[in-house]
Chains A and B, each alone.
Chain A
Amino acid sequence: MQTALPQELAAIDAHNHVRAGADGNLDVGRAEALLQGCSRLGIDRIAVSVPYTDSVVAPERYRAGNEVVWQAMQHSPRFIGFCFVDAHDPAAALAEIEHCIVERNMAGVKLYHQFFVDADEQRPVMEKAASLGVPVLMHAGKCTDPATMAAQPRLSNAGHFRVALEKYPETILIQGHIGGGGDWEWNLRTLEGIDSDNYYIDLSGSVIDAGIVRRSVDTVGCERLLFATDGSLEEGVGKLLAAGLSMREMRLICHDNFARIMARRKV
C-alpha cells in the first residue's frame, strides 16, 4: 500500500485553511503542523484561506483573515493564498480582491455561504475575478440533515453552479469539497454532461464513501477535478489512492488542472 502521494506529482492541495492564533496573527504552530502533515503524505503546496461562516461578514473581519493568509504565504512558499470576501459590501469586497490578488499575489477568491454562487449579489465579485483571471472557490454541498440546512440556508450545490456558469461565463468556478458532507451523488447527477473550461470541483472533505472519487472522474472527467483535503489529509489522499487512477489522471487531478487555472491569470 502507498503511504503517500508520489513526489513526482508535486501535488497541490487546492482547498485548505490556516487560522489566526489568540493574538490575531497566523497560528504558526498549526500552520507548521499542516505543512508537516502534508509532507508526510506527499502534498507539495497548499492553497489556504480564512473563511467566515457568519451570514454577513464585515470587511474589517475578512481583511484580518486575509492578513493571516498573507502571513502564511510569507511563512512558507508552499502556501498559496486565496482571499475571502463577502459580497454584502461590493465596494469593500472589490478593493480587498484587488489588494490581495494584485498586490499580494494571492491566487484566487474564496467565498462561503453568505450568498448562493449564482446570486445577483455575487456579480461584482464574479466579474472582478474574471477580469483578473483568477478562480472563485466556493464552499458547497447538498446537505440533507435539518441542522445543516438550518445553519446554512444559502449553501450552494451543483445546481447553483450550473446556473452561475451561464450567468457569469467569464468566471472560473471551483465547487468546494465533493466530500464535504451532503448528498454527493445528487451533486454528481446534477453535473452530468457538464462541459465548461470554467468549471472545476475539488475532492476534499472528510467523506470517504467507497467510490466517491471514481464516480467523480466518471461524471465530470479528470480534467475538471482538483485534489484537495480541506484539512482531512488522510481522507483526501486515501480516497484518491483508492480510486486506482492512472498516472496521467493523477497528474491532472493533483497538479496540472490547478496549474492550468493559474496560467489563466491576467495580472
Chain B
Amino acid sequence: MFDINTAIGHWPFRRLPRRTAGELRQYLQSYGVKGAAVASTPALFYMNSQDANLELAEEIAPHRDFFVGVATLNPGYAAAVRDLDTCVEKLGFRALRLSPCYHNYNLADGTADALLTRAGELGIPVLLPNEIVNFRQKHWMEPNQPLGMESVLAICARFPQVTFIGTEGGYNLSMTAPPNLCLEMSRYYSCYGQALADMVRKLGSEQILFGSGAPFKEIEPSLLKLHHCQIPDAQKELIAGGNARRLLGL
C-alpha cells in the first residue's frame, strides 16, 4: 500500500494531528501503508516555497525508506524552475505539486508553463489538489473555491507529455478522460453506486491511485472505498500502490 496524498507541517487554520514525519509515518504504518508521497503544508503559505521544501527534505531525511518528497512550488515566484531542479536532483524529490488557488494564479494564464515543461523533461508527475480542506469551511484568508476539474482537464490537453494526478476529488464520469490524467481516489464512492469502480473502467486501473489526505483527513474512508470497490484484485493492487510506485519511479 502506497499513499500518494499526504503532507506534513503546520496548517495555519486548524490544529492538525500528526504534523511531523515520524508521527505521520507511524500512523500510516499502523494501517498497513508501506510508503507515501509527502508534501509540505507550509509551502502553500511561504512566499518563498523552496524554503519549505528544504525543511521537508530535512524532516523526511531519517524516513527516506518510507517517504518520497513532493516539491510544492509557486511558479510565479523567482527561480521556480531552478528550485524544481534542486528538489529533484539534489533533494531526491520525485513529484511536483501545484496549488494555483493558494499561490494566486490560474493554470490557464501561462504562469505555470515553464515549470510544467520542466516537470515533463524531468519525467515527474504533477499533483493538482482540487482543494486542501473542504472549501465550505474556508478561513477568510483561504481561496473562495476549489481548483475545479475543468482547469485540470485543460492543462492535461496543453501538456500531454506531463502526467497529472488530480487529488481531493472534482472529477465525474461525464468528463473526458485524458490519457495523462490520474486520479487519487479518496473522494470517490464505492459502496453507494460504485463510482470508483466506474472510474476505474473509464480511466483504466493504471490511472487511479490510493490516497488518504492524511493528516487532514482520516484514512479509514479511503481504505473502505478500496476494500469495497468491486474490481479484480489485480486492479486493486495497482491502485493500492503499484501505480504510484511506477509514476514515482520507485
Chain B contact residues, majority secondary structure: loop
Q: Report A-chain residues with C-beta under 8 Å of the C-beta of B145.
A: 145, 147
B190 touches A (CB below 8 Å):
yes
B81 to chain A, nearest CB (A): 33
Choice from A209, A232, A238 contacting B220 with Cβ under 8 Å: A238
Contact with B along A160-189 (1 / 0, CB 8 A): 000000000000000000000111110000
User: Is A99 part of the contact surface with B, judged by Cβ < 8 Å?
Assistant: no
On whether the beta carbons of B32 and A3 are closer than 8 Å, the reply is no
A241 touches B137 (CB 8 A): no
Q: B46 in the interface, Cβ–Cβ < 8 Å?
A: no
Stretch at the interface among B51-59, B86-94, B224-232: B224-232
CB-based contact A242/B14 at 8 Å: no
In the complex the two chains form, is B218's CB within 8 Å of A141's CB? no
Count B-side interface residues using an 8 Å CB cutoff.
37
**Interface hit among A32-40, A114-122, A249-257:** A32-40
Q: Decide if B45 is an interface residue (CB 8 Å cutoff).
A: no
- Mark out the residues of chain B between 170 and 200 whose CB falls within 8 Å of any chain A CB in the assembled complex: 187, 189-193
A210-B17, A234-B190, A242-B220 are known contacts. Are A3 and B227 too (CB-CB below 8 A)? Answer: yes
B204: interface (CB < 8 Å): no
Complex partner residue of A238 from B17, B187, B223, CB under 8 angstroms: B223
Is A184 in contact with B137, judged by CB distance below 8 angstroms? Answer: yes
Closest to A36 in B: B191
Report the minimal beta-carbon distance from B200 to chain A, rounded to whole angstroms: 16
CB distance from A266 to the nearest CB of B (A): 34
Contacts of B17 in A (CB 8 A): 210-211
Q: Evaluate contact between A210 and B215: CB separation under 8 angstroms.
A: yes
Q: Is A237 an interface residue (CB 8 A)?
A: yes
In the assembled complex, the Cα of A30 lies from the Cα of B14 at a distance in Å of 37
Give the residues in chain A near B227, CB-CB below 8 Å. 3
Are B224 and A41 closer than 8 Å at their CB atoms?
yes
A34 and B192 in contact, given A144-B138, A211-B17, A242-B218 (Cβ under 8 angstroms): yes
Complex: how many Å from CA A212 to CA B139? 17
Contacts of A182 in B (CB 8 A): 136-137
- A188 CB, min distance to chain B CBs, angstroms: 12
Cβ contact within 8 Å between A181 and B220? no
Tell me if A37 and B193 are in contact (CB < 8 A). Answer: yes
Q: Report A127-153 CB contacts with B as 1/0, cut-off 8 Å.
A: 000000000000001111111100000
**A: number of interface residues (CB 8 Å):** 40
The reply to whether B191 and A37 contact each other, CB–CB distance below 8 Å, is yes
Whether A183 lies near B137 (C-beta < 8 A) is yes
Q: Which of B128-165 contact A (CB under 8 A)?
A: 133-140, 144-145
Chain B residues within 8 Å of A148, by CB? 136
Q: Residue-by-residue, is A14-45 near B (CB-CB < 8 Å gives 1, otherwise 0)?
A: 00000000000000001001101110110000
Contacts between chains A and B (CB distance < 8 A), count: 104
Shortest A32–chain B CB gap in Å is: 11
Given known A-B contacts A146-B144, A234-B225, A242-B220, A210 and B16 have beta carbons under 8 A apart: yes
Bound: A4/B214 CA distance, A:
21
Q: Is the CB of A234 within 8 A of B137?
A: no
Please determine whether A235 and B134 come into contact, CB atoms closer than 8 angstroms. Answer: no
**Cβ of A238 to closest chain B Cβ, rounded Å:** 3
Any B CB within 8 A of the CB of A207: yes
Contacts of A206 in B (CB 8 A): 134, 187
B136 and A209: CB pair below 8 A? no
Give A215-232 as 1s and 0s: 1 = Cβ < 8 Å from B's Cβ atoms: 000000000000000011
Instruction: Give every chain A residue within 8 A of B144 (Cβ-Cβ).
Output: 145-147
Which residues of B approach A to under 8 Å, CB–CB?
A: 14, 16-18, 31-32, 133-140, 144-145, 187, 189-193, 213-225, 227-228
Given contacts A238-B224, A239-B220, 20 further A-B contacts (CB under 8 A): A3-B228, A36-B191, A37-B193, A141-B136, A143-B137, A144-B138, A144-B140, A145-B135, A145-B144, A208-B218, A209-B218, A232-B189, A233-B192, A234-B189, A234-B220, A234-B225, A237-B224, A238-B221, A238-B223, A242-B219
- Could you pull out 27 A-B pairs where Cβ atoms are within 8 angstroms? A1-B220, A1-B223, A3-B224, A34-B192, A37-B192, A41-B224, A142-B137, A143-B137, A144-B139, A145-B145, A147-B144, A181-B134, A183-B137, A208-B213, A208-B221, A209-B133, A210-B214, A231-B192, A232-B189, A233-B189, A233-B191, A234-B220, A234-B225, A237-B220, A237-B224, A238-B221, A238-B223
Q: Which 6 A-B pairs have the closest CB atoms?
A: A238-B221, A238-B220, A181-B136, A37-B191, A37-B192, A242-B218
